[in-house]
Structure 1
């Protein structure tokens, strides 16, 4: 694929993300497969798309100093300038003249001579003058929001919840690379064997302390490994391995996963149960149920029964006190996974958090009667917002006096997490800056006898 075509692909992905609020990881994957992009070009495409998204607010702040006030640009022109500026500022290996040339060629092919001239003029001005210093921004909050490309309302919200320093560390962590992690299928291979085989293939890997099945990939594209192709590995963030680890599972249990797609956690549960027992896994969307089934089949797991159901209506499907364990991995704002899906921070509003917290509380209230006495319920989200985490748990406990926080949860956490700064009376909040993970919340509730 020519460089011009490759950059056209990058631009197209970025336009679709902005226009249709598409997910970057899915659109990149689709583009790579449909255009048969070489492994070398895949890396560049991924780097530029993610980098442009990660630094969008900062890049736009720079650009406004080079575009006449009141000048209305077509959406694709603004994105092309943003993408080009990202390369000029953050990628040393591509010369500025090459970046500008490619941008002008794309502008010509997509627009007309006037647009090409504008693109050329803006980027050459940047090259000549350099970008303005962020130190000129007087407000600490505004400067942090622009420097790390987070909406200012979100930065203010985090500062109110966690203070400036924690928020600052979290925002900067969200602009950095996080190593991929995987989970081994223990019924087919143990972790030591997997480490040896992957090392022989040329991968650099190390064990995760979050789970005895977890591996961190420091070097190499794990999707190309023999073990992944043989269904012996599942891509899963280390934090997402904690729910199954903390459910205290054993074979022959009856387990409910109320919000299960795409299936990473429920297949982990099945593995922990030795593929013996009964799991009922639900998701609102039929399409997503297919993903759970595919994942279970790849891993050779047959105890998972799936259904397209609203988690807020499961009492119509199951009898009360019929499950030994329940997982509610609740739909949430996703503000803990910004490193991997940077577009999330631009697509969310404060009202979304309020709405989601209501849904989370409704789900917990619906599934609570389905748990047996002395049974355990794990509640988790991939967000760092207190309203969706601690506050939801607090309200649930106020409404359900037959439930308590399981105090053993805190003792049974992996040793390095027991003294984490994210420990509170209501559970564990993981922040992205500490353990090379997503931001993630987890707690375990017990139904009293």
Structure 2
């Protein structure tokens, strides 16, 4: 009898596995997204690009969960294992909202399902090839439960639709900085805006200065953690004058409290 070894699973991006495992904890009610993702990224030590991808998948899947769940439900049974459903939610988000090429989504998540033993590869292949965006509706426009959408309408009136759209858009990173940090950012060309309660704020829509530049300028390095739901850059290296309590990460006023929005 001849023994034929099983082929080794194709490689997959570890950022996607990290995102799926974080989502699994969040959707099971074990943790809010922010602390779960932050802890996972600290432990994994992913490159910046992969950390950004994991952040996009986690928060994007949660933002669009109502639509994604609506699209997936007809293809799955009620007893589908949470690992399988969570992996498919992440894959569906990438295909429908993150503009990842469909063939790449199918390939990556089939390899992830097989390599990390999260789901049957055949099921993942079939579902992600067939899934399509649900028909437009009130839910797909707001991605909020009906009662919460009505709360926003009562609070914002005619501006509610703009608020709904803003909630589904990754926000820039907002930091309160010390005087030394203020001068440093202003010198490098960052945009400075007045904020509430007389606090000057710096709007960052790009990565922070690289560590090599900071070392060349004779500045020490430290890590500033921010709320990654509002930025593509889950963490960045900054000068020592931005460390706590000189700098504080803060929410834009229109964002509701909670770890998963």
Give your verdict on TM over 0.5: yes
Q: Assess, with a 3 A threshold, how the Cα gap between structure 1 residues 91 and 123 changes in structure 2: closer, same or farther.
A: same
Alpha-carbon offset, residue 232 of structure 1: 3.0
Q: Assess, with a 3 A threshold, how the Cα gap between structure 1 residues 15 and 50 changes in structure 2: closer, same or farther.
A: same
Matches of residues 46-85 of structure 1 in structure 2 within 5 Å?
46-65=55-74, 67=75, 70=77, 72-85=79-92
The Cα offsets for residues 115-167 of structure 1, whole Å up to 9 and x where unpaired, read as 211111011113xxx43431xxxxxxxx22333221123224444x3486444
Q: Hey, what does 1:125 align to over in structure 2?
A: 130
Higher relative contact order (CA 8 A, sep 6+): 2
Alpha-carbon offset, residue 182 of structure 1: 2.0
Q: Assess, with a 3 A threshold, how the Cα gap between structure 1 residues 112 and 20 changes in structure 2: closer, same or farther.
A: closer
Q: Which has the higher strand share?
A: 1
Q: Hey, what does 1:205 align to over in structure 2?
A: 191
Q: Hey, what does 2:182 align to over in structure 1?
A: 195
The Cα offsets for residues 48-89 of structure 1, whole Å up to 9 and x where unpaired, read as 111011000011112234x05x45311111111111111111
Unaligned runs of 5+ in 2: 1-10, 209-223, 225-236
Q: Hey, what does 1:182 align to over in structure 2?
A: 175
Question: How many residues are paired up?
Answer: 223
1:232 pairs with 246, 257, 261, which one?
246
Q: Assess, with a 3 A threshold, how the Cα gap between structure 1 residues 18 and 162 changes in structure 2: closer, same or farther.
A: same
TM-score normalized by the length of structure 2: 0.73
Matches of residues 73-222 of structure 1 in structure 2 within 5 Å?
73-92=80-99, 94-111=100-117, 115-126=120-131, 130-134=132-136, 143-159=137-153, 161-162=154-155, 165-185=158-178, 189=179, 193-200=180-187, 202=188, 204-221=190-207
TM-score normalized by the length of structure 1: 0.45
Instruction: Please tell me the root mean square deviation across aligned C-alpha atoms, in Å.
Output: 2.9
Q: Hey, what does 2:260 align to over in structure 1?
A: 341
Q: Distance in 2 between matches of 1:62 and 1:230?
A: 43
Alpha-carbon offset, residue 195 of structure 1: 3.4
Unaligned runs of 5+ in 1: 135-142, 241-334, 343-449
